[in-house]
Amino acid sequence: MGSGEDSGVGADYPQRATIRDVAARAGVSIGTASKALNASGSLRQETRDRVVAAANELGFRPNAMAQSLHRSRSMTVGVLTTDSFGRFIFPILEALEETLAGHGIAIFMCNATDDPEREQQHLDQLLGKRIDGLLVTARRMDRRPAIAVPGKSMPVIYVFSQSDDPDALCLLPDDHGGAVLAVEHLIATGRRRIAHITGPAEFEAVTLRHQGYVDTLARAGLPALPEHYLNGLWSEAWGREAVDQLFADAATAPDALFCGNDQIARGASDALRERGLTVPQDVAVVGFDNWDVMALAARPPLSSVDMNLHRLGRAAGERLIAMIGGERIRGVERLPCSLVVRPSSAPAGHTDTTQQNQNS
C-alpha cells in the first residue's frame, strides 16, 4: 500500500478557527474575545459586535466541552424511551426539542426496547456525558421502576410513563377526562346505547377511560351494561371481533361505540360496514389517540380523542428547565385531552371541530 499522501489517508483538511484566530481578526485580546462570545464581562457593544463578526467570518465554533466545564453544565439532556415505533415519542420529542432549543439545550435519545440491561447501559453513557437532566418515556403509561440516578442530583421527568417513586414528576394525558369528552359527545348527538371496546384490562389507561365512560353515562341517567364493555387487544382485528359480539343479539345492540384506540375503532367501522350498517347514521364511532394514519384513512374518517402529545412534550421541556434551575417539582400531572370530531360520529353537514377538555 502506498504512503498516506498517495492513499488519501491523512489528507489536509481546513483547520478549525480558534479563539486566538478570532481575537487576532477582531484586534482584541484572547480574554476580550472570550468575554464577548460568552456574553460576560463589561465590554462596549461595538467591541462585542466586532468579535462576533470576526467569529462568523472565520466560521468559529466554541468548544462545547470547555464551555460546559466553565458553566458546570453540559447544556444537554437525555431521553430514554421504549417506543421503538415512535408513535408516541416522536410528537413528544418534537415539542421537547423546540422548547429546549430556545435555551440552547440539545438532546441525546436512546432506545432501551424494554431491555433493563440495555437501559442501564444507555443510562451509564448518558451520565458519562454529564447530561443536565433526563426524560423517560414509553409506549404505554403504566408504572415502571424508578431510574437510579446517583445522589438524585439530576432532574428526571417521566412523560407518557410513570415511576414507582412517589417523589418523581410524571406527566400524563388525562385518560378519564378524554373518555368523558368522547361519551358526552356521543350523548349530545342523541346516542343512548353506547358500548366501550378497549384494550387489555390490566392497563391503568384502560381502567381510567372505562371509569370516565361509566361516570358520564351515570350523569346522563344511562346504564353501563356489562355486555357493552369489552376488553381485548389494541388491534383492528379485535375491533372487528368485538362488533361481532356486540351485534350478535339485536335486542342489546348499541347505537354508538367508544373505542380505546383508533386501530380498534377502524376495525369496528369496517365490521359495521360489512354488516350493512352505516357509520354514523346507524352506529356512531369514536376512537382514542387521534392517530392520523388510522383516523383519516378510515371510512368515514374517525372522530378521536387527542392526547395532545405536543403539549406533553412542551410541558416536559418547561418543567425540565425549571428543575435544572433548582426548582423542585414532583407528583403526577394529568394534562387535558381534546376531542377531534369527524364524520364517524358527527351529525349530517358537520365539519371537523376540536373540543377541549374542560380542565384545559
Question: What's the rounded mean pLDDT across residues 105-119?
Answer: 87
Lowest mean per-residue pLDDT among 5-14, 102-111, 240-249:
5-14
Question: What's the rounded mean pLDDT across residues 332-350?
Answer: 87
Alpha carbon distance 262, 264 (integer Å):
5
Which of 53-67, 123-137, 252-266, 346-360 has the largest mean confidence? 252-266
Q: What is the pLDDT of residue 179?
A: 98
Domains of the chain: 4-62 (1.10.260.40), 74-173+309-336 (3.40.50.2300), 175-307+339-356 (3.40.50.2300)
Contact assessment for residue 196 and residue 230, using Cβ atoms and an 8 Å cutoff: yes
Residue 196 has pLDDT above 70, yes or no: yes
Q: What is the pLDDT of residue 11?
A: 44
Q: What is the pLDDT of residue 360?
A: 38
Q: What is the pLDDT of residue 268?
A: 98
- Mean pLDDT score across all residues of the chain: 87
What distance lies between CA 147 and its chain's CA centroid?
19
Write out the H or E segment, with its range, that includes residue 258.
strand 256-259
Q: What is the pLDDT of residue 150?
A: 73
List alpha helices for the chain, DSSP H: 4-7, 19-26, 30-37, 45-58, 64-71, 89-101, 116-128, 175-188, 204-219, 236-246, 262-274, 292-295, 309-324
pLDDT digit string, tens, across residues 2-18: 444 443 444 444 567 88
Selected residue with higher pLDDT from 286 and 355 = 286
Model confidence at 227, in pLDDT bands (50, 70, 90)? very high
